[in-house]
Amino acid sequence: MGIAGVRGLYLNIEVDSRVPTINALFNEELGIIVEVDQNNVQYVLNEYNTNGVQAKVVGATGQYGMHSEILVNVNGKQVLNTKLIDVFRMWEETSFRVECLQANTECVKQEWNGLENRKGPSYSVTFDPTAAVVKCKSVRVAVLREEGTNGDREMIASLMMANFEVFDVTMSDLQSNKITLDAFQGLVFPGGFSYADTLGSAKGWAAGILFSESLYGQFSHFKGRSDTFSLGVCNGCQLMALLGWIDPAQNTGSVRKTQIFLDRNQSERFECRWSAVKINEDKTKEDVWFRGMDGSVLGVWVAHGEGRFSFAEGQVREALTRNKQVALQYVDDDGGPTEEYPMNPNGSPDGLAGVRSADGRHIAMMPHPERCVLRWQCPIKPPTSYNQANPHSNYSPWMRLFQNAYIWASKQ
């Protein structure tokens, strides 16, 4: 409980004086430990004992942080006095040694050495995440999937909750001319493993577009329209990078050349984590997706093996900053952009997690906002700032991302 909650402990175990200390602390008897608020202690004890379940107070949790104290007494005699970080390292040492054998050793050491200074993410929300958006216009969005896509269901649900008219479209639908992108104002590329990531993530998906004259023309025309917007998440982000939709070049509608790539994670393995990202305050004039969310630090799911942003030339990275195209960055516990593992799960420079097009209408990001638009989808209890206006709201702050896109599109 102390390790998982990153809190100190004060324990006093009362047992028969004839019982050896080691037996008092370690045994296989049935039992549970329940943490309750101090104001409810007597009530909980009475309820258990009234129903024939023996219950007693064994201690209390202490301060938050790796340097908090762990004090253990048996019958009033101190048997352990140490810091949480010391116990934490003993607990984690076996895992650390195993990790060194199956991942990048430098990344594993970064995580191990960083334990002492970890204090938990500093989440903050700079907007009202519960504001409702009234449907005022039908905005048609295509969620485009390819063989191996697996994030389309969550994406469709998120878009529908934001009032979009959503269509499930496959690449074969476009190839057979069953439907064209001219029918849509929005285009979303969901996550997954298209073509099982053969030859690299999204390479097969991108090739199917770039080397098809009819599809290439459709995508070029869609991107070139002034009323369109798009979102690529995870595998969709990798695709948009290969198509050149987020390159720091003039918005000509061309999809032939790319300057940004998503390479293998620095840890050399698939990363599935709950990471903290900051929404960049320095943004393009026309910001379709993150309007009003500037400076917020939010938790979000990441799940990828190739999420490290890299560039064809060194100047490309500087151009992204100059053009205000950096949308999201992985941050440390102080809220600053980081390259340190595991706060940065893939090793992207400057914590880069998402990039927008120069005109702000098209965005590609590795994290999965569609997997945490509802509060119950978050693995932690959201801080108070997550639901300032309505603590009973089912939405997390990430719903605003999709609502912003709907508001912008409905005005075009």
Q: Which residues are catalytic?
A: 234, 368, 370
Paired sense of beta strands 69-74 and 7-13, if any: parallel
Cα–Cα distance for residue pair 207/197, rounded to 1 Å:
12
Contacts of 347 (CB under 8 A, 6+ apart): 107, 265, 266, 267, 308, 339, 341
Residue 217 is given by DSSP the state H
CA distances from 222 to 43, 125, 214, 410 (A): 64, 33, 12, 17
Radius of gyration of the chain (CA): 25
Residue 236 contacts residue 189 (beta carbons within 8 Å): yes
Residue 374 contacts residue 335 (beta carbons within 8 Å): no
| Phi, psi dihedral angles at 12 (to 5 degrees) | -140, 110
Contacts of 173 (CB under 8 A, 6+ apart): 179
CA distances from 404 to 159, 222, 298, 375, 409 (A): 11, 20, 17, 19, 9
CA distances from 364 to 337, 352, 393 (A): 18, 11, 28
Cα–Cα distance for residue pair 187/38, rounded to 1 Å:
52
